[in-house]
Amino acid sequence: MPRRDGRDPGGAEGAGVHTVRGRRPRNARRKLIVVDTSVALKWVLDEPDSDHAREAMDRMLVAPDVWRVEAANGLRRAVRTGELPPQEAPRLLKVLDRAPVRDLPTPPLVPAGLELALSLGHPVYDCLFLALAIEQDCKMLTADDAFLNVVRAAAPNLAGHLLRLADFAR
């Protein structure tokens, strides 16, 4: 399924298999992983666990398409805090546009995301990613320890859908 910009996000039409640097991942048969924006930003910003985040790029990654808006906001925040020069933000946004993530429409996830947000007492944005992981019966890879802690405390039955980036291993 082509992305809105017309490029094939995965190289293997319809299979959802993503390629990195023009090759098919050797582990393409592994389960899908929902990648959240906290991980995606580590692909372009030098932060703790950026190496683990880059390893995840070889996996079959999906995310609600709102991740791109969140990533742009994360780059803005990095500029505001002095972590990133202002002229670098647009360039890094273009790098993220080429990330091996299959964008899935956010609107169908909103009802489940809202339900999760209400039960967890957490913003809907993060809950959309968890809703997608639940829908796809897969893991959500995140570097957001606060969200992990909220889910573990409020809904331990859902914690199995979460994978902490620092614990990510091939």
8 is in an annotated binding site: no
**Full DSSP string of 94-153:** HHHHTSSEEEE-SGGGHHHHHHHHHHHTS-HHHHHHHHHHHHHTSEEEE--HHHHHHHHH
Is the distance from CB of 99 to CB of 72 less than 8 angstroms?
Answer: no
Output b/e per residue, 68-101; b: 16+ Cβ within 10 A.
Answer: bebbbebbeebeeeeebeeebbeebbeebeebbb
Residues whose CB is less than 8 angstroms from the CB of residue 126 and which lie 6 or more positions away in sequence, other chains included? 36, 144, 147
126 is in an annotated binding site: yes
Q: Which residues are annotated as a binding site?
A: 36, 126
Q: Which residues are annotated as a binding site for Mg(2+)?
A: 36, 126
